[in-house]
Amino acid sequence: MDRRHFLKRSVASAAGIATTGVVATDASAKTVKVKTRLEYGQTIKEPSRRIPVVDSADLIVVGGGPAGFAASVAAARQGLDVIMLERGYFLGGLFTGCDVTLLNNMYSPTHNGRVQAVFGICDELCNRLDSHKMMVWAGTPPNVDTEATKYFMEEMCVEAGVRILYGAHASEVSMSGDRIDAVFVETKSGRVAMKTNFVIDCSGDGDVLAWTGEDFIEYKNHISAMYRIGNVRNRTSGSHTSNEGVYTMHLGQGISNVDGLNAYVASKAQLDLRKKMWEKTLDVRSKEGNENAYLLSTPSIVGVRVTRVLNAVLNVSVEGAATGKSYDDVIGFTGSDSTLHWGDTRIPGKDRKIWQVPYRSLVPKTVENLLVAGRCFGYEKGLTYDAREVGTCFMTGEAAGTAAAQAVSLRRGCRDIDVRRLQETLRMNKVKLEW
Ligand SMILES: Cc1cc2nc3c(=O)[nH]c(=O)nc-3n(C[C@H](O)[C@H](O)[C@H](O)COP(=O)(O)OP(=O)(O)OC[C@H]3O[C@@H](n4cnc5c(N)ncnc54)[C@H](O)[C@@H]3O)c2cc1C
């Protein structure tokens, strides 16, 4: 199929039109239930095959974004053999791959200055960046240098003994009852399987929890992008970077209210967003002094904000975040600087309390050896802005990795770990749990 026909088909399918004539007709197509959110007219039977088991680990972390990074480092430091599966070829997920760079929720802005809410591995990474003068701005929120962040994340993983596998797209799990016992992975070396005692889903989209049949909720949001323009002499907008004349820009709402899990929609969004980034760059170039400005970088990962979130043992409520509610099983605090709507009450960013995240919001109701961290842990829809910010993702990741280490070493399920002991370990690792 040539490019023109592929794009035509992509657009048709994104619009919800089923495509036909690709595979031989399967008479049972109407009755067989298949797992996809795409429109389809026919099904085809994939021949069964044996998959080589190429590796095994105490823990497999799916996704190398802020949550997956923190989860992997925390667990490896507790002595677990950890494989981190990342479909791309860098760490940081949207934080580094979408040029986000602003580490929201690590601090809360207040009337009197700011309060630090997230500590532990997130703080350590920032200190490492700072000591190498790679923090673009150490304010609220901190603004980090993207490439240095990718580098130091890898460095911290390697030091902790995490086995990073890039180009590794986790695609399914094998279960024995309520336990995951292997993860299937698509790689350039073919489809392979890896055995494990425990999995942390840091895919951002709750991929693993969906494969296990675990309960989840879907939140639609917009797909957007951050990008960099270089050689700007006459600044019009954008935030500073490490380089003079280079600014990080934001497309804002981008493409609104779309299904980030529809492959055609996400692909089309990336095409449309790149066109917008190009046009914005031409706008900047049209300003006097900016004749030589250029589009320096665009995201290497599509800017999907939120899709599936775990319907956890306890989802963090808007009320809990608004009132700064205390939980016996607190695993960390998170800052906030966004306006929150709680019933009829509107709480502006500067009046927000820092809020607690309970362990139960990472815990699924059924699967025994799974935790969920990052933008797909359990929270109410009203928190989609707050709960997926980078600071919160680091924090939930570290707690999940620490909890997994205990579960594996004591052979316990995710709902049976000793939460007091988890909290002690987190405190020892400089996570602040008291205020
Ligand atoms: C346009 C935009 C602007 C934003 N601006 C800000 C901001 O200013 N400040 C802020 O704090 N936050 C911001 N965010 C939100 C923040 O970047 C994300 O919510 C955060 O990075 C989520 O971290 P995560 O680790 O949960 O997931 P992600 O960052 O999404 O990382 C998930 C990782 O898992 C990998 N992965 C996914 N599925 C698989 C699979 N099946 N197998 C293997 N690997 C897989 C992905 O490649 C990725 O590396 C923004 C987001 C967007 C889209």
| pLDDT at 3 > cutoff 60 | no
Model pLDDT for residues 395-429, shown as the tens digit of each residue: 999 999 999 999 999 999 999 999 999 999 999 99
Mean pLDDT of the chain: 91
Q: For the chain, how far is it from start to end, CA to CA, in angstroms?
A: 60
Model pLDDT for residues 237-292, shown as the tens digit of each residue: 888 888 899 999 999 888 988 899 999 999 999 999 999 999 999 999 999 999 99
Do 85 and 209 lie in a common domain?
yes
Q: Give the pLDDT confidence score for residue 35 in this predicted structure.
A: 81
Structural domain contains residue 24? no
Do 160 and 95 lie in a common domain?
yes
Structural domain contains residue 8? no
- Location of structure tokens 């998170």: 334
Total-model pTM: 0.93
CATH number of the domain residue 85 falls in: 3.50.50.60
- Per-residue pLDDT band at 30 (split at 50, 70, 90): low
Residues with a CB atom less than 6 Å from ligand 1? 62-68, 85-88, 93-95, 98, 100, 102-104, 168-170, 202-204, 207, 224-226, 301, 303, 305, 374-375, 388-390, 393
Structural domain contains residue 362? yes
Name the closest-CA residue to atom 34, ligand 1.
Answer: 63
Which atom in ligand 1 lies closest to the alpha carbon of residue 67?
25
Which atom in ligand 1 lies closest to the alpha carbon of residue 208?
41
Do 95 and 243 lie in a common domain?
no
Structural domain contains residue 21? no
Answer whether 222's CB lies under 8 Å from 253's CB: yes
What tokens does 166 get? 């890039």
Structural domain contains residue 423? yes
Using CA of residue 14, residue 20, residue 22, residue 27, what is the dihedral sign? Answer: positive
Answer whether 349's CB lies under 8 Å from 116's CB: no
Instruction: Count CB neighbours of 180 within 10 A.
Output: 23
Do 269 and 352 lie in a common domain?
no
Q: Give the pLDDT confidence score for residue 379 in this predicted structure.
A: 98
Do 129 and 265 lie in a common domain?
no
Do 165 and 190 lie in a common domain?
yes
What tokens does 278 get? 């190009």
Domain that holds residue 258: 222-304
Do 204 and 270 lie in a common domain?
no
Do 322 and 335 lie in a common domain?
yes
Answer whether 88's CB lies under 8 Å from 165's CB: no
Backbone angles phi, psi at 50, to 5 degrees: -90, 135
Of all residues in the chain, the percent with pLDDT exceeding 70 is 92
Average pLDDT for 115-129: 97
Do 290 and 341 lie in a common domain?
no
Structural domain contains residue 183? yes
Structural domain contains residue 34? no
Structural domain contains residue 392? yes
Do 271 and 402 lie in a common domain?
no
Overall domain count for the chain: 2
| pLDDT at 204 > cutoff 50 | yes
Substitution candidate for ligand 1 out of 171, 203, 302 with most atoms within 8 A of CB: 203
Domain endpoint, select from 304, 325, 358: 304
Answer whether 80's CB lies under 8 Å from 59's CB: yes
Name the closest-CA residue to atom 6, ligand 1.
Answer: 100
Give 4: exposed, middle or buried? Use CB within 10 Å, 0-12, 13-18, 19+.
exposed
Do 267 and 315 lie in a common domain?
no
Do 363 and 405 lie in a common domain?
yes
Domain endpoint, select from 248, 272, 304: 304
- Per-residue pLDDT band at 113 (split at 50, 70, 90): confident
Domain endpoint, select from 277, 304, 331: 304
Specify the amino acid at residue 169.
Answer: H
